[in-house]
């Protein structure tokens, strides 16, 4: 068993079309899991992006929006979003910071 507090994680800042997200991973490997702090007024990562992994996003605080080119979902704390591998998407925030927990995992065909 291992306990890691988010304050001990090193942040990697990714800038977007506007704003940025600080990505702090507790698990790195075939499965990646960590906290994301999306700054107010952000559109990140540079829209749109996709990856070969499936992704689960859980909103801890804030009210971000996620867009996959076909629809936009307004999110609130307690919401989960499930993204398929290679599904293009990006996150937007208005005047509040959003705190998100994210897990990326290999697709079944990998």
pTM: 0.92
CA distance 30 to 83: 17
pLDDT digits (tens, 9 = 90+) for 19-32: 999 999 999 999 99
pLDDT in tens, 30-53: 999 999 999 999 999 877 899 999
Phi, psi of 97 (to 5 degrees): -75, 145
66-98 per-position pLDDT tens digit: 999 899 999 999 999 999 999 999 999 999 999
The ranges assigned to domains in the chain are: 10-105
For residue 6, the 8-state DSSP code is G
Q: Which listed CATH number (2.60.120.10, 3.30.420.40, 2.160.10.10, 2.60.40.420) goes with 10-105? A: 2.60.120.10
Q: What is the pLDDT of residue 79?
A: 98
Q: Could you give the CA distance from residue 42 to residue 1 in angstroms, rounded to a whole number?
A: 36
């Amino acid at each position: 068993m291992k306990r890691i507090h988010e304050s001990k994680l090193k942040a990697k800042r990714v800038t977007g079309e506007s704003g940025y997200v600080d990505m702090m991973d507790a698990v790195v490997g075939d499965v990646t899991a960590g906290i994301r702090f999306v700054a107010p007024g952000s559109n990140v990562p540079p829209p749109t992006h996709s990856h070969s992994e499936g992704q689960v996003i859980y909103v801890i605080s804030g009210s971000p929006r996620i867009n996959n080119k076909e629809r936009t979902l307004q999110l609130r704390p307690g919401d989960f979003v499930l993204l398929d591998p290679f599904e293009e998407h990006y996150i937007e925030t208005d005047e509040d910071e959003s705190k998100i927990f994210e897990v990326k995992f290999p697709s079944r065909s990998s």
